[in-house]
């Protein structure tokens, strides 16, 4: 499925449930944020599950301002989970050549045998590799 097809699907929905680690599409992607604005105006109901990460509150503030939502509306729309409870919603992620300039990250459903794999951008791939190395070093206490 392409992003364009996904936008068409969401545009026709009356209710949308989103599980998002960053709220990227809703706050930073112009096509999606325009569609969310229109959908909210047409009374499409949105519900989000997001992790209680250190960066999510900044994007939640951007979301509330962008879509002119009150604190009460935000509280009704968003469920902020401890990161440990958020884990079941993660996709299987592979990072290839994480130490190299040609780093590539891909995601796919973690428990289905399907051919649908999403290749992430170079920037996102490098960011994920950096985070992977930092977490590895923090808990294994060795560098990769």
**Per-residue pLDDT tens over the stretch 77-99:** 999 999 888 887 888 889 999 99
State pTM to two decimals: 0.76
Confidence band for 3, pLDDT divided at 50, 70 and 90: confident
1 has a pLDDT exceeding 70: no
Tell me the β-bridge partners of 95: 105
**What pLDDT was estimated at residue 47?**
95
Task: Tell how strand 45-51 and strand 15-19 pair up.
Answer: parallel
Statement: residue 113 has pLDDT above 70:
no
> Which SS3 state, helix, strand or coil, does residue 12 take?
helix
Identify which has the larger pLDDT, 144 or 60: 60
Question: In the predicted model, what is the mean pLDDT of the chain?
Answer: 88
Helix (H, G, I), strand (E, B) or coil at 18: strand
Find the helix or strand (DSSP H, E) in which 84 lies: helix 83-86
């Amino acid at each position: 499925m392409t992003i364009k097809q996904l936008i068409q699907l969401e545009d026709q929905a009356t209710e949308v449930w989103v599980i998002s680690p960053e709220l990227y599409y809703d706050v930073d992607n112009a096509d999606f944020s325009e569609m969310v604005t229109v959908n909210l105006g047409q009374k499409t109901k949105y519900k989000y599950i997001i992790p209680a990460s250190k960066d999510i509150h900044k994007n939640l503030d951007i979301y509330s301002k962008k879509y002119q939502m009150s604190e009460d509306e935000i509280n009704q729309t968003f469920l902020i989970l401890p990161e440990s409870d958020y884990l079941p919603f993660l996709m299987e992620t592979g990072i290839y050549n994480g130490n190299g300039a040609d780093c590539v990250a891909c995601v796919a459903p973690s428990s289905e045998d399907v051919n649908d794999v999403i290749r992430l951008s170079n920037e996102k791939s490098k960011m994920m590799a950096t985070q992977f190395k930092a977490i590895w070093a923090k808990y294994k206490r060795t560098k990769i």
